[in-house]
């Protein structure tokens, strides 16, 4: 028979056990991610949630669009950019927490077509021949991959010849969609889009030599509104770990910091 005192002791012990088994409260984290890294982040999120117990909400767009939204007060906690410059500027202007910025991935640009026969082993020759109606690129002013695409075309000397064939999209995710749906025969996309397990990415591709465009160093930063969000800090730490890096590499990215 349980006395009132005995029941009180059991209840206290149960509460102590529960507190000990879950010492940290789960946090909700909103991650603003550049479009090229949207699919990898979708793969990473459930792994992080299982490992750390926090929940991630993903908002994707071009790096330029996301920075504008951050400046307008969008409720983002972490920013995964497609470049270094924007997170660095956020850090310098107190939009991001100093000391939390790091390079989480090195991006790779590829020229891709859903047509298996369109792009040969020499993609530069494909561009110079110009035997296509449309080539898609992301907006160079908003998307670092679009800037890289414009650099490749300039260094190959084809920018002027192709200017009337260029279809400009808002972000690199839209560029991939434009090519995969046939609205452009080919385009400069993120290699991660082509390598995504869920992408119908058979076709032909050419990876421009790295010396044709500036390195695409993609930086992450904790945003100031989330400076006290333990879950957001935990995510950035986890993103540097072996489990996360293995997934990131599987999408064709190089290692960051």
Tell me what the mean pLDDT of segment 155-167 comes to: 98
pLDDT higher than threshold 60 for residue 23: no
Same domain, 33 and 54: yes
Same domain, 121 and 204: yes
141 located within any domain: yes
Same domain, 91 and 122: no
For residue 78 the two structure tokens come to: 């972490």
pLDDT higher than threshold 50 for residue 9: no
Would you say the pTM of this structure is higher than 0.75? yes
2 located within any domain: no
Residue 209: predicted pLDDT: 96
Same domain, 87 and 112: no
257 located within any domain: no
Domain residues for the domain of 85 are 10-106+216-250
Residue 195: predicted pLDDT: 87
Strands 78-80 and 28-34: parallel
d(C-alpha 242, C-alpha 91), whole Å: 26
4 located within any domain: no
d(C-alpha 37, C-alpha 82), whole Å: 8
Residue with tokens 């021949």: 129
256 located within any domain: no
Q: Summarize pLDDT for 56-104 with one digit per residue, the tens.
A: 999 999 999 999 999 999 999 999 999 999 999 999 999 999 999 999 9
Overall number of domains in the chain: 2
Q: Summarize pLDDT for 231-247 with one digit per residue, the tens.
A: 999 999 999 999 999 99
Q: Summarize pLDDT for 201-228 with one digit per residue, the tens.
A: 589 999 999 999 999 999 999 999 999 9
Same domain, 101 and 166: no
Are 153 and 163 contacting, i.e. CB atoms less than 8 angstroms apart?
Answer: no
């Amino acid at each position: 028979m349980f006395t009132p005192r005995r029941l009180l002791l059991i209840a206290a012990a149960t509460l102590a056990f529960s507190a000990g088994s879950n010492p940290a409260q789960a946090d909700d984290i909103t991650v603003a991610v550049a479009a090229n890294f949207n699919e990898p982040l979708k793969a990473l999120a459930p792994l992080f949630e299982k490992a750390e117990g926090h929940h991630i909400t993903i908002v994707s767009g071009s790096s330029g669009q996301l920075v504008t939204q951050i400046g307008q007060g969008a409720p983002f906690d972490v920013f995964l950019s497609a470049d270094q410059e924007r997170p660095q500027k956020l850090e310098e202007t107190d939009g991001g927490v100093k000391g939390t910025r790091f390079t989480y991935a090195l991006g790779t640009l590829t020229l891709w077509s859903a047509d298996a026969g369109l792009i040969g082993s020499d993609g530069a020759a494909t561009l110079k021949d110009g035997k296509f109606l449309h080539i898609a690129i992301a907006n160079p002013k908003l998307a670092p991959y679009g800037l890289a695409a414009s650099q490749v075309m300039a260094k190959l000397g084809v920018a002027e010849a192709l200017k009337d064939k260029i279809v400009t999209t808002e972000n690199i995710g839209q560029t991939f969609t434009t090519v995969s749906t046939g609205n452009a025969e080919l385009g400069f996309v993120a290699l991660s889009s082509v390598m995504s397990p869920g992408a119908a990415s058979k076709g032909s591709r050419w990876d421009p030599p790295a010396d044709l465009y500036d390195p695409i160093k993609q930086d992450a930063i904790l945003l100031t509104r989330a400076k006290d969000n333990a879950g957001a800090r935990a995510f950035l730490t986890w993103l540097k770990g072996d489990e996360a890096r293995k997934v990131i590499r599987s999408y064709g990215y190089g290692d960051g910091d």
